[in-house]
Amino acid sequence: MHSTISRVRRVALAGASLALLLAGCAPPSPTGTDAASPPLVQTSTQPDEDPGGFDLDALIAAARTEPGITIYDQTTKVVATAEAFAAKYGLEATGVKVELGAIDKVLKEYQSGNVIGDVVINEDLPAYAVELLDQGVLVNWVPGDMKGSIKPEDQYPLIVHYGPMGWVYNSQVHSSCPVSNIWQLTDEQFNGRVAIADPLSNAKYSYWFNTMALNDDAALRSAYKELYGTELTTDQPDAAHEWVKRFAQNNPKLTRNDEEVSEGVGAPGQQEPSFGPISMAKFRNNAQKGYHLALCDGMKPWALQSFPSGIAYAAKTDSPNAAKLYIHYMLTEEGFGIQLADGKPSANSQVPAPDDPSHVKDFMDQMAPFPSADLVSDYRTKSEWEDFWRSSYS
């Protein structure tokens, strides 16, 4: 087991590596070149991913013979989670928040052979899957005793939580959601009244637009007809492109992040508050800042969109068993409990739904999935959607 000095050195190196991101090399090429964007396919599994081959006691024993681990995540709660994990199993574990440039950082560590992040949790699932998992930089591992409680489509990449983003309104001004149909946001009534984090700075929006184009064309057309009483006619390739174009041309207020959206929507004392999408974690502002945020109920075609985070371990880690044990821990109620407060439903169905200020547990059937089969397409079309947004917004 590493000494405390060793652990401090690993954390110092992690911090120093962040300063080198600008010197990072180009990512590997995506898998394949055909326009159909076939889904990523897992080529191999390990014996302990099968229920009959999994032995938690043996995993714990093996983990205790290995050096301590460092976990990269995009939330500050990784620090407390790693500490709790270390205390539970008598191991060394250090949580490091790596919010920006995480994909490049992990890739650079792999290429240099100086692996610091032993476990990686990341919400940019398309880039994470294509650039890291599919290239062998990270190893996907599903705990064998959880195989039956995680949906097959959430096992490669292995999803740790769903990270919902939902449309919200100001409940101080409105007794119920003022929007029931996503096409309303393209009407004059909402010109300049929708706040949204800038899609050119937040990749999740390009992914969301692509997900709608691939999966929700019929639902968007149905919603359009329900609102206007006529069929949608468009020269765009699908209804999603038409909606994005109209929405961008309706002067949405672009912000830097969800925090600013939550203020524009939920801050008290407003006459005409904005309307917009935020992550569930921002509902903490209701208690901390006196905001009045509420999720829309029944908005068509979806009230929320899932943005899952993947979890995997570094292919070149010196502590594969300790890393596996942390992945197992994160998929338990005990290990994931601290993040349930942020409204993040676990991918493990045995973990209770979040009981958080957003009440997202009551909206789970209104959350659009983020299909793993679309990840390559999401990755490849990101710049195209950014260009489309840029030309439509201007």
Residue that terminates a domain, selected from 305, 338, 372: 305
Q: pLDDT value at position 394?
A: 78
Residues 152 and 169 in one domain: no
Collect all residues with Cβ–Cβ distance below 8 Å to 371 and sequence separation of at least 6.
Answer: 153, 211, 214, 215
Q: pLDDT value at position 27?
A: 36
Position 188 in a domain:
yes
pLDDT tens-digit map of 34-52: 346 788 989 899 999 999 9
Q: Domain range holding 89?
A: 47-162+308-363
Position 27 in a domain:
no
Q: pLDDT value at position 377?
A: 97
Mean of all residue pLDDT scores within the chain: 91
Query: Of 1 and 246, which is predicted with more confidence?
Result: 246
Residues 301 and 312 in one domain: no
Residues 174 and 252 in one domain: yes
Position 215 in a domain:
yes
Indicate the pLDDT class of residue 243, thresholds 50, 70 and 90. very high
Q: pLDDT value at position 35?
A: 46
Residues 211 and 300 in one domain: yes
Position 384 in a domain:
no
Give the mean model confidence (pLDDT) for residues 238-248.
Answer: 98
Position 202 in a domain:
yes
Position 17 in a domain:
no
Residues 218 and 249 in one domain: yes
Residues 171 and 245 in one domain: yes
Return the minimum-mean-pLDDT range out of 18-27, 90-99, 284-293. Answer: 18-27
Residues 170 and 257 in one domain: yes
Residues 52 and 137 in one domain: yes
Percent of the chain with pLDDT over 90: 88
Residues 87 and 214 in one domain: no
Indicate the pLDDT class of residue 366, thresholds 50, 70 and 90. very high
Residues 210 and 108 in one domain: no
| DSSP H helices in the chain | 4-18, 56-63, 77-89, 102-112, 125-127, 203-215, 217-228, 239-248, 258-266, 285-289, 320-330, 333-340, 375-393
Query: What is the secondary structure of 134-162 as a DSSP string?
Result: TTTSEE----GGGGGGB-GGGBTTBEEE-
Position 31 in a domain:
no
Residues 222 and 334 in one domain: no
pLDDT tens-digit map of 293-351: 999 999 999 999 999 999 999 999 999 999 999 999 999 999 999 999 999 999 999 99
pLDDT tens-digit map of 250-275: 999 999 999 999 999 999 999 999 99
- Cα–Cα distances in Å, from 256 out to 262, 264, 362, 363? 11, 12, 29, 26
Give the mean model confidence (pLDDT) for residues 73-99.
Answer: 96
Counted domains in the chain: 2
Q: pLDDT value at position 12?
A: 39
Position 392 in a domain:
no
Residue that terminates a domain, selected from 264, 279, 305: 305
Q: pLDDT value at position 100?
A: 84
Q: Is the pLDDT of residue 239 over 70?
A: yes
Residues 193 and 81 in one domain: no
Give the mean model confidence (pLDDT) for residues 72-93.
Answer: 97
**What is the CA angle 74-55-159, rounded to 5?**
25
CATH code, domain with 288: 3.40.190
